Amino acid sequence: MNMNLIEKIKKLNIGEIIENADLKKYTTYHVGGHALAVVLPDDIYGLIELIKLLKKEKVKYKVIGRGSNLIFKSGLYNGILIKLDHFDSLKIEGNEITVGAGFQLIKLATRLSRLGYTGIEFATGIPGTVGGAIFMNAGAYKSDMGYIVKSVKVLTPDLRVEELTNYDLDFHYRTSFLHQHRDYICLEATIILKRGDADLIMQLVEDRKKRRLETQPLEYPTAGSVFRNPDGDYAGRLIEEIGYKGHVQGGAMVSTKHANFVINYNNATGEDIEKLILEIKKRIKEKYDIDLKIEQEFVE
């Protein structure tokens, strides 16, 4: 059935197909086994045709960005991964910027900051795509996507293209309407920024970059913060308090630079990382009765 499915996808002629895809290449943790295929549709029409086929064939699928919050197991992901890399248009009109969901967030934030736009500096260190960032309501430095997104073009569960406003998107700390309704797919976003002094903006960006390199384990495969900060506290502090800074599980380790980061320091598997994360969550709950929320996703 699998090869038959791949042949059917090929016949659609909708874009690039990578068969038996190595998932290590599609996650920032560099973990996972293989997927039946990764498909990169050329446009919205191709995406709709692909999903119609997958629904008809009753095959599971998942839309992914840069995999910066995903943990795949070592075996087969018995489904199709869809990447929107070709949804990478960028249109700048005054203070309004329209950008495809597949555009890399760091690239977008850096380009706009250099052009003297302010409001998106917080995103210059966040790996992932625009679509993924809106889905998660990614943020840093007391700002997030909810502050700058005006509206988003989505593909609905019944495969219609609709526009959702900022209000519709229901942005909250590290979540959004899209996070709660995963059968909607972000296609394109319109953001609003202000103009500022490009030199001052880039000085701030460079200062923050320097600080990130000093305080985060960016030399290792990682997926950023593992847990959301609980109200009035920091997940990293709690993890240090239970003595887990530097704690090892298989090839995974709690970073010695920042305890809310787990790193793939020695050929870790997704299982290693998942076990370590769940162990930390359990210990924190036992010691402090705090139920830490995991920002990362264990993909089945």
174 is catalytic: yes
Given the residues 174, 208, 212, 228, the one annotated as active site: 174
274 is catalytic: no
Contact 174, 91 (CB under 8 A): no
295 is catalytic: yes
* Residue 170: CB atoms within 10 Å: 16
What is the edge-to-edge ordering of all strands in the sheet holding 261-264?
A: 222-225, 261-264, 252-254, 248-249
Please tell me the distance from the alpha carbon of residue 249 to that of residue 276, in angstroms, as a whole number.
Answer: 6
Please tell me the distance from the alpha carbon of residue 29 to that of residue 23, in angstroms, as a whole number.
Answer: 10
Given the residues 121, 188, 271, 295, the one annotated as active site: 295
Per-residue 3-state assignment (H helix, E strand, C coil) for the chain: CHHHHHHHHHHHCCEEEEEEEEHHHHCCCCCCCEEEEEEEECCHHHHHHHHHHHHHCCCEEEEECCCCCEEECCCEEEEEEEECCCCCCEEEECCEEEEECCCEHHHHHHHHHHCCEECCHHHHHCCCEHHHHHHHCCEECCEEHHHCEEEEEEECCCCCEEEEEHHHHCCECCECHHHHCCCCEEEEEEEECEECCHHHHHHHHHHHHHHHHHHCCCCCCEEEECECCCCCCCHHHHHHHCCCCCCEECCEEECCCCCCEEEECCCCCHHHHHHHHHHHHHHHHHHHCCCCCECCEEEC
Residue whose token pair is 């295929």: 37
Given the residues 225, 255, 271, 274, the one annotated as active site: 225
Please give the positions annotated as active site: 174, 225, 295
